[in-house]
Amino acid sequence: MPPNLTKPNSGFTSKPSPLCTFVSLIFLLIIGFYTLHYPPGNPKKVLLFQQIFLSSASNSTIASYLRSLTSHPHLAGTKPSLETIHYVKTHFQNLGLETHTVPFQTLLSYPVHASVLMHFGNGTVLNLSLNEMGIPSYPSSGLIQPYHAFSPSGTVHGKVVFANHGREDDYRTLGLMGVNVNGCIVVIRKGGGLSRGAVVKIAEKKGALGVLMYAEGDVSKGSFGSGVERGTVMEGVGDPLTPGWGADEDGERLKLEDKKVLQRFPGIPSLPLPFESAQLILDSLGGPLAPQEWRDSGRSNLSHVGSGLVMVNFTYQGEKKLATIYNVVAVIRGLEEPDRYVLMGNHRDAWTYGAVDPNSGTATLLDIARRYALLMRKGWNPRRTIIFCSWDAEEFGMIGSTEWVEQNLVNLGAKAVAYLNVDCAVQGPGFFAGATPQLDNLILEVTKKVQDQDSEVVATIYEKWKTMNGNNIQRLSGVDSDFAPFLQHAGVPSVDIYYGRDFPVYHTAFDSFNWMINNADPFFWRHVAVAGVWGLLGLHLADDPVLPFDYLSYAKQLQEYKDAYSRVLDGNISLTPLAASIQEFTSAAKQANEETKKLMEQEFTNDLLALKIRALNDGLMLAERGFLDTDGIKGREWFKHLIYGPRSNYESGLEFFPGISDAMAESKNMSQKDGHAAIKHEIWRVARAIQRAAAALKGELV
């Protein structure tokens, strides 16, 4: 860490280091030279603006933003959330940015009452605590009691079974031990890679009456074992009453009892528990001994899986109601291509204080806007339009971003260059990135320009990241954050970046500013690093004459996916259509790269060259849309992307080509002939999507 910095809670230094000051002066002198010798918009001048962006970083400024954003809980749709909306909007306006709020009226879910009672054989009744221990008063703090949004109301009474992570193979293990969960309440511990909604859905299918979930936490990270993880159990994304269109206040809505609406919600109640309360239930279980791998969690004293003599009475009463949410949007108009949009987004709403999730990202976004405004005062104007997006109600199922995407689908389809998402900017150490593959090389190049402050020696993020996991860039198949509607519904190339894999206070009342400064990022240098990468990605995509997309990376990835399926598919199922389409896509990617090189070698700009660059950029921008299919993924038709999207086959390790993965799982319940036909159809659908992407990349009609 730089020696002139102190901990945030004892006061940040507001002064840059001497080296930073010297570098900034040099940059200002150089930019003055280039302003005199080169015309505005010259690529060399653009590079200097990127350097000024990096040199204007301020960890103390980001810390001040985060402190303000996390001064109170701000759950979407509640009165306290209006203060954070005003804070973000005012910040953008004070920077001189064109700013407006976009309201939507959507269905949200709040708790009214919950209780879990243990009934012992001797008549004793124990009322379990459902709130975090160590929180003095929920009402005075503004905290809402832990719950699962969109859980149905109900009271269930029965014996209890521990079902580990609630996966299909966990229930198979219970079955082999002679334990049946039908008519029981299941207790499930976090983990196993399933969403809350998927866990409840599987339990419901097995005949369970209700689900109680707990997270064990990590005692090595502090006394946060009593944290209770809130979250949604709704299936899919967006407002359930307006599937496929924006939730305008006076617009069309489905009825709450509509079949399409009801199928988004589970049929049995669920509730999160503190670890200590879950442990009391687990200690009471009888029945078979738990498998050793179910007991190696480090904290649990689990011995048996159930059921015992103790009965549990579990009540949850919730309220689903229409609430107004607000997205905040700020715009920097592009000078040369104002109709091309680079979108940078983060959600603002939180289950509690939200220091990590999501306001570490919000504070970082606000700082990027501050630095971009500084560049504008120094004469910078982006080539393309930059749009800052502060989403609401993400925690309920990406509702704010989804409604906005649905409302703007035509313009996004024609004009969106890329969407750059950050949710939890800083969870802990270690840089991680997810992206669509054409952005891989850009991410790698940008991380070579930003310093990693976690390194004991001077090193870039790229160098530290390479030693950690080999610069592995993840893919965006999950429905994890606000990139989902952009990529999986609108086909917009997307990025998601963050520091730290997991954190023990996720969705709990302990996700506070104090936890951030004592655990995740005491000096806020990881925030500065994320801002550096995020902001430089935005500058490149907004300013580079030719979009920095490399579809050869995509072609290579598609080939690897095809090879993975060839290893698991029946030999009677041909992948020839897929192989042919990938070959066609590879040829188009090579052609685009050659055209990029040729155009970038031109020394002088003229109208003809500008038109050629525009045509090339159109192909680079629109190719991702080719992977969309109007029919969508079977059973989840809103998700249109056939390469990356959610799959119903939770046990499959193949997180790509979701339609093929699902068809393989469904074929097990069909005749061989019908099963093979279903898989072949999905292979052809993917092949056609890749062909569409190739045609878009070439900019030619077939």
Q: Is residue 17 part of a domain?
A: no
- Residue 22: its pLDDT value, please? 45
Tell how many helices (H) and how many strands (E) occur in the chain: 23, 15
Using 50, 70 and 90 to split pLDDT, how confident is the model at 14? Answer: very low
Using 50, 70 and 90 to split pLDDT, how confident is the model at 125? Answer: very high
Are 310 and 366 in the same domain?
A: no
Instruction: Check pLDDT > 90 for residue 651.
Output: no
Using 50, 70 and 90 to split pLDDT, how confident is the model at 301? Answer: low
Are 212 and 336 in the same domain?
A: no
Strands 210-214 and 185-189: parallel
φ, ψ of residue 361 to 5 degrees: the values are: -75, -40
- Residue 297: its pLDDT value, please? 58
Q: Which amino acid is at 319?
A: E
Active site residue 560: no
Instruction: Check pLDDT > 60 for residue 226.
Output: yes
Summarised one tens digit per residue, pLDDT across range 257-283 is 999 999 999 999 999 999 999 999 999
- Residue 296: its pLDDT value, please? 59
Q: Is residue 621 part of a domain?
A: yes
**Can you say how many angstroms the Cα of residue 567 is from the centroid of all Cα atoms in its chain?**
30
Q: Is residue 260 part of a domain?
A: yes
Query: Average pLDDT, whole number, for the chain?
Result: 91
Given 296, 318, 340, the domain boundary residue is: 318
Are 392 and 530 in the same domain?
A: yes
Residue 685's domain is classified under what CATH number? Answer: 1.20.930.40
Q: Is residue 182 part of a domain?
A: yes
Summarised one tens digit per residue, pLDDT across range 465-485 is 999 888 999 999 999 999 999
- Residue 701: its pLDDT value, please? 87
Q: Which residues lie across from 651 on neighbouring strands?
A: none
| CA–CA distance, 109 with 103 (Å, rounded to integer) | 18
- Residue 29: its pLDDT value, please? 43
Task: Determine contact, residues 223/385, Cβ cutoff 8 Å.
Answer: no
Task: Determine contact, residues 558/588, Cβ cutoff 8 Å.
Answer: no
Task: Report percent pLDDT > 90 for the chain.
Answer: 82
Calculate mean pLDDT across residues 153-176.
96
Tell me the two tokens of residue 127: 């009322």
DSSP, res 304: B
Query: In terms of Cα–Cα distance, which of 434, 363, 431, 354 is closest to 394?
Result: 354
Q: Give all strands of the β-sheet with 160-162 in edge-to-edge order.
A: 160-162, 185-189, 210-214, 270-273
Are 337 and 477 in the same domain?
A: yes
Are 492 and 602 in the same domain?
A: no
Residue with tokens 């999950």: 478
Q: Between residues 316 and 651, which one has the greater pLDDT? A: 316
- Residue 348: its pLDDT value, please? 98
| CA–CA distance, 594 with 588 (Å, rounded to integer) | 10
Helices (H), 147-274: 168-176, 196-205, 259-262
Residue 62's domain is classified under what CATH number? Answer: 3.40.630.10
Summarised one tens digit per residue, pLDDT across range 369-419 is 999 999 999 999 999 999 999 999 999 999 999 999 999 999 999 999 999
Instruction: Check pLDDT > 80 for residue 43.
Output: no
Tell me which of 16-20, 71-75, 208-212, 317-321 is least confident. Answer: 16-20
Query: In terms of Cα–Cα distance, which of 155, 178, 149 is closest to 272?
Result: 149
H/E element, 112 = strand 98-119
- Residue 409: its pLDDT value, please? 98
Tell me the two tokens of residue 119: 């009934």
- Residue 223: its pLDDT value, please? 46
Instruction: Check pLDDT > 60 for residue 147.
Output: yes
- Residue 16: its pLDDT value, please? 45
Q: Which amino acid is at 206?
A: K
Instruction: Check pLDDT > 50 for residue 513.
Output: yes
Strands 384-391 and 337-347: parallel
Strand spans (E) along 122-207 = 125-127, 148-149, 154-158, 160-162, 185-189
Query: In terms of Cα–Cα distance, which of 395, 354, 346 is closest to 534?
Result: 346
Are 364 and 239 in the same domain?
A: no
Instruction: Check pLDDT > 60 for residue 73.
Output: yes
Are 556 and 539 in the same domain?
A: no
- Residue 407: its pLDDT value, please? 98
Tell me the two tokens of residue 207: 């005949």
Q: Between residues 27 and 265, which one has the greater pLDDT? A: 265
Query: In terms of Cα–Cα distance, which of 358, 360, 372 is closest to 330?
Result: 372
Task: Determine contact, residues 475/658, Cβ cutoff 8 Å.
Answer: no
Q: Is residue 25 part of a domain?
A: no
Q: Which residues lie across from 339 on neighbouring strands?
A: none
- Residue 42: its pLDDT value, please? 64
Residues in Cβ contact with 274 at an 8 Å cutoff, skipping those fewer than 6 apart: 129, 130, 131, 132, 133, 214, 226, 227, 228
Given 543, 572, 598, the domain boundary residue is: 543
Tell me the two tokens of residue 147: 């719950």
Calculate mean pLDDT across residues 19-35.
42
Query: In terms of Cα–Cα distance, which of 537, 538, 545 is closest to 446?
Result: 537
Q: Which amino acid is at 667?
A: S
pTM of the model: 0.93
Are 201 and 163 in the same domain?
A: yes
Question: How many Cα atoms are found within 13 Å in the side-chain-facing hemisphere of 325?
Answer: 36
Residues in Cβ contact with 140 at an 8 Å cutoff, skipping those fewer than 6 apart: none
Task: Determine contact, residues 269/203, Cβ cutoff 8 Å.
Answer: no
Task: Determine contact, residues 318/153, Cβ cutoff 8 Å.
Answer: yes
Given 511, 526, 543, the domain boundary residue is: 543
H/E element, 388 = strand 384-391
Calculate mean pLDDT across residues 8-29.
42
Which of 235, 394, 624, 655 is catalytic? The answer is 394
**CA separation, residue 323 to residues 84, 567, 643 (Å):** 16, 49, 34
- Residue 32: its pLDDT value, please? 42
DSSP, res 116: E
Tell me the two tokens of residue 253: 């809505």
Residues in Cβ contact with 658 at an 8 Å cutoff, skipping those fewer than 6 apart: 477, 633, 639, 642, 644, 645, 646, 647
Per the structure, the count of domains in the chain is: 3
**CA separation, residue 91 to residues 5, 28, 193, 579 (Å):** 26, 26, 37, 51
Are 306 and 449 in the same domain?
A: no
Calculate mean pLDDT across residues 567-575.
93
Query: In terms of Cα–Cα distance, which of 682, 655, 651, 677 is closest to 665?
Result: 651
Which domain range does residue 573 map to? Answer: 551-698
Calculate mean pLDDT across residues 83-87.
98
Instruction: Check pLDDT > 70 for residue 225.
Output: no
Are 211 and 224 in the same domain?
A: yes
Query: In terms of Cα–Cα distance, which of 25, 27, 31 is closest to 380?
Result: 31
Are 158 and 187 in the same domain?
A: yes
Instruction: Check pLDDT > 90 for residue 183.
Output: yes
H/E element, 436 = none
Are 119 and 88 in the same domain?
A: no
DSSP, res 503: -
Residue 210's domain is classified under what CATH number? Answer: 3.50.30.30
Q: Between residues 580 and 702, which one has the greater pLDDT? A: 580
Q: Is residue 219 part of a domain?
A: yes
CB atoms within 10 A of CB 615: 13
Q: Is residue 305 part of a domain?
A: yes
Q: Is residue 32 part of a domain?
A: no
